[in-house]
């Protein structure tokens, strides 16, 4: 039987640095899922790719994500009163890339969407989605943490999540027991 200590002793020495680029590399080692977050503000649809999505609370149903204060869409996401999160499947890497750059018209172009009662869009083929009212904004460094109270949600049981780790897309696989 191998002990945890034996496994740790074979790892290379950690990189210790104050360099912001090195800090980003270290953060990228944390694997996440990938989402598209949308808002509807001043009659327009807004959307962006996001991997900072997380659950906050089951009662009440709260979720969070973060947005850079320098983002061109900051006002739309913080002033519109809510947002919708679409969790992407491993078949939707192209959509993740599409919503990561370009103008809003090109981000939504050709994507199958469903307008919610809230007027926000969700991706029709998303593996899960959460339509949220804005609950709280938390000022945090160069970002705002956006907390929403889930009003409606849904999911598809047969979909597999799109993953993101070390600046690359991938998929999650279950380990054998």
The mean per-residue pLDDT over the stretch 39-62 comes to 97
How many angstroms separate the CA atoms of 45 and 107, rounded?
10
| pLDDT-derived band at 2, boundaries 50, 70, 90 | very low
Q: What is the DSSP letter of 171?
A: E
pLDDT per residue as tens digits for the range 17-48: 678 888 888 888 888 999 999 999 999 999 99
- Mean pLDDT computed over every residue of the chain: 91
102-111 pLDDT per residue, tens: 999 999 999 9
User: Residue 1: what pLDDT?
Assistant: 45
Q: How does pLDDT run across 62-98, given as a tens digit for each residue?
A: 999 999 999 999 999 999 999 999 999 999 999 999 9
Taking a C-beta distance cutoff of 8 angstroms, is the pair 36, 47 a contact? Answer: yes
Band the pLDDT of 15: cuts 50, 70, 90.
low
| Beta strands at 168-171 and 128-140: parallel, antiparallel or unpaired | unpaired
């Amino acid at each position: 039987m191998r002990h945890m200590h034996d496994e740790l002793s074979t790892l290379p020495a950690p990189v210790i640095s104050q360099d912001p680029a090195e800090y980003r590399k270290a953060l990228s080692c944390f694997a996440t899922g990938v989402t598209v977050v949308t808002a509807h503000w001043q009659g327009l649809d807004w959307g962006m790719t996001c991997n900072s999505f997380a659950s906050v609370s089951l009662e009440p149903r709260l979720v969070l994500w973060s947005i850079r204060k320098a983002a061109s869409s900051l006002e739309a996401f913080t002033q519109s009163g809510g947002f919708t999160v679409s969790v992407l499947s491993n078949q939707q890497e192209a959509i993740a890339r599409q919503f990561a750059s370009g103008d809003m018209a090109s981000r939504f172009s050709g994507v199958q969407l469903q307008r919610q009662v809230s007027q926000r869009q969700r991706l029709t083929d998303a593996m899960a989605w959460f339509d949220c009212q804005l609950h709280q904004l938390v000022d945090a460094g160069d970002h705002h943490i956006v907390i929403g109270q889930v009003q409606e949600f849904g999911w598809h049981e047969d979909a597999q999540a799109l993953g993101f780790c070390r600046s690359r897309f991938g998929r999650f696989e279950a380990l054998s027991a």
